[in-house]
Amino acid sequence: MKHPFHLKAVWNGGRNSEGTIDAGGLKTVISIPQEMGGPGTGTNPDEMLLGAASTCYLITLAAMLERSDITPDELTLESEATVDVTNNVFTYERIVHRPRIVLSTDASDADLVKAERLAHKAESSCMISRAVAGNVAIETQPVVVTTGANAV
């Protein structure tokens, strides 16, 4: 089964202008980020790729934990992207995902180990990670703890 997704975009002017996108649940202003010499209004392709990779990873991880009968008390994610600009060539180099999985105090050591293994496996199972494979390095640095405990 194929699932089509659609986006409508409008761009008003030259490089340092801004536009809008409408992709169903995503409606926003777009422009080039200030760090790259643009106006920095709304979002930009760099943030959107990071957002796509991060949300795909997080949803994939949540589904994998659920299928393994692991219910986290808390599941959060911080992700960071690195874009290199050398000789005016922009290269999206790397994404680092830092999930934090908090399990209940009665979680077994096996649950902690399994949750960490799934945190790493989710990256290669996510369709966005697979789509950028070979072009963008993706790394996962999970922290798995029980409520009130230190990191595993």
Q: Which pLDDT tens digit goes with each residue over 76-119?
A: 999 999 999 899 888 999 999 999 999 999 999 999 999 999 99
Question: The whole model's pTM is what?
Answer: 0.90
Asked if residues 83 and 137 have their Cβ atoms less than 8 Å apart, the reply is no
What are the phi and psi torsion angles at 137 (to 5°)?
Answer: -75, 135
What pLDDT, on a 0 to 100 scale, did the predictor assign at position 150? 56
Alpha carbons 92 and 138: distance in angstroms, whole number: 11
What pLDDT, on a 0 to 100 scale, did the predictor assign at position 35? 87
What pLDDT, on a 0 to 100 scale, did the predictor assign at position 88? 85
Which stretches of the chain score pLDDT less than 50? Answer: none
Neighbouring C-beta atoms of residue 35, cutoff 10 Å: 11
Say which residue the tokens 């070979």 belong to.
Answer: 134
What are the phi and psi torsion angles at 2 (to 5°)?
Answer: -105, 145
What pLDDT, on a 0 to 100 scale, did the predictor assign at position 36? 86
